[in-house]
Amino acid sequence: MAKTHVTMKVNGAEVEGLVEPRTLLVHFIRENLQMTGTHIGCDTTHCGACTVDLNGMSVKSCTMFAVQAAGADITTIEGMANPDGTLSALQEGFRMMHGLQCGFCTPGMILRAHRLLKENANPTEEEIRFGIAGNLCRCTGYQNIVKAIQYAAAKINGVEFQEAAE
């Protein structure tokens, strides 16, 4: 099958590659670009581990072909740190609030939370839980992930994070 030349922007850098039409975006990111932070969990559109930000949308990159992303502007976990290399508010939140245990779901969680906070800078706990409903975590029970996102929202909004009493 003839390969197609694609270009796209990933984490601010123009990238290119030759792909078969059937190459999934997540395989292009992991294998052609060698960015293995984007994980493949279920490979069936359920778990959200492969979530990337694409043209302002949270997308499961296992359910899109790389040719469809030609010309797109994509952010992966490798692009989530601050420009000076320090942790972004979300990354810091996951670290401070123990928002991960095994860490497998974390790249997808952070990318999904990134778009959630862009669309809703001050979400309620319910809105956070509904907003990350497409991302599965088998370790944390979600409690600390919700806290991590609340921590990040507070930091981005410049207010002090207050942990809810349990």
CA distance linking residue 90 with residue 152, whole number of Å: 5
Query: What is the DSSP track for 61-100?
Result: GGGSBGGGGTT-EEE-GGG-S-TTSSPPHHHHHHHHTT--
Contact region with other proteins (CB under 8 A), list: 53-61, 83-91, 98-106, 152-160 = 53-61
Cα–Cα distances (Å) from 103 to 57, 75, 80, 106, 108, in that order, read: 23, 19, 15, 5, 10
Residue type at position 9: K
Contact region with other proteins (CB under 8 A), list: 7-15, 73-81, 129-137, 138-146 = 129-137
Cα–Cα distances (Å) from 154 to 23, 44, 74, 107, 148, in that order, read: 39, 34, 25, 20, 10
By CB under 8 A, residue 101 contacts other proteins: no
The residue (of 33 and 66) whose beta carbon lies closer to other proteins is: 66
Closest approach, Cβ 130 to other proteins, in A, equals: 8
By CB under 8 A, residue 122 contacts other proteins: no
Contact region with other proteins (CB under 8 A), list: 8-16, 46-54, 81-89, 91-99 = 46-54
Instruction: Retrieve residue 77's tokens.
Output: 């976990």
By CB under 8 A, residue 157 contacts other proteins: no
CA distance linking residue 57 with residue 49, whole number of Å: 15
Site for other proteins in 71-100 (CB under 8 A): none
Closest approach, Cβ 61 to other proteins, in A, equals: 10
By CB under 8 A, residue 68 contacts other proteins: yes
13 forms bridges with which residues in the sheet? Answer: 10
By CB under 8 A, residue 65 contacts other proteins: yes
Which residues of the chain form contacts with other proteins (CB under 8 A)? 1, 4, 20-22, 24, 27, 43-46, 48, 51, 57-60, 63-65, 67-68, 112, 116, 130-134
